[in-house]
Amino acid sequence: MSNNPTSNFQDVPWKHRFFSSMIGFAVNFSRRSDGTINRYIMNLFDFKAPPSQQLFDGVKTSDTVVDATRNLYFRLFLPSLNQDDDVPVIVYFHGGGFAYLSASSIPCDDFCRRLCKKTGAVIISVNYRLAPEHKYPSQYDDGFDVLKFIDDKANTKNLPFNVNLKQCFIAGDSAGGNLAHHMAVKACEYGLRNVKLIGLIAIQPFFGGEERTESETRIVDAPILSVKGTDWLWKAFLPEGSDRNHPACNVFGPKSVHDISRLKFPATMVVVGGFDPMHDWQIRYYEGLKKCGKEACLIEYPHAFHTFYGVPELKETCLLMEAVKGFIERLINLNKEGCS
CA distance 328 to 238: 32
* Catalytic option among 102, 125, 138, 174: 174
Q: Tell me how far apart the alpha carbons of residues 173 and 224 are, in angstroms, rounded to a whole number.
A: 14
306 is an active site residue: yes
Q: Which DSSP string corresponds to 144-169? A: HHHHHHHHSGGG-TTS-TTEEEEEEE
Measured between alpha carbons, how far is 157 from 288 in angstroms, rounded to an integer?
38
Strand, coil or helix: what is 296? strand
What is the identity of the amino acid at 82?
N
Choosing from 46, 109, 151, 276, which is the catalytic residue? 276
CA distance 130 to 57: 30
Q: Which helix (H) or strand (E) holds 336?
A: helix 315-339
Q: Which residues contact 34 (CB under 8 A, 6 or more apart)?
A: none
Dist CA 50 CA 48 (whole Å): 6
Which alpha helices (DSSP H) does 152-278 contain, by range? Answer: 175-190, 214-218, 227-237
| 174 labelled catalytic | yes
Q: How far is it, in rounded angstroms, from Cα 159 to Cα 181?
A: 24
Region of 35 on the Ramachandran plot (φ > 0 left; ψ -120 to 50 alpha; else beta):
left
Beta strand extents in the chain (DSSP E only): 59-67, 72-79, 87-93, 122-127, 163-173, 197-203, 267-275, 296-305
- Angle CA(329)–CA(330)–CA(334) in degrees, nearest 5? 115
Catalytic residue, candidates 181, 182, 246, 306:
306
Residue 133, Cβ neighbours under 10 Å: how many? Answer: 12
Catalytic residue at 21?
no
Active centre residues (catalytic)? 174, 276, 306
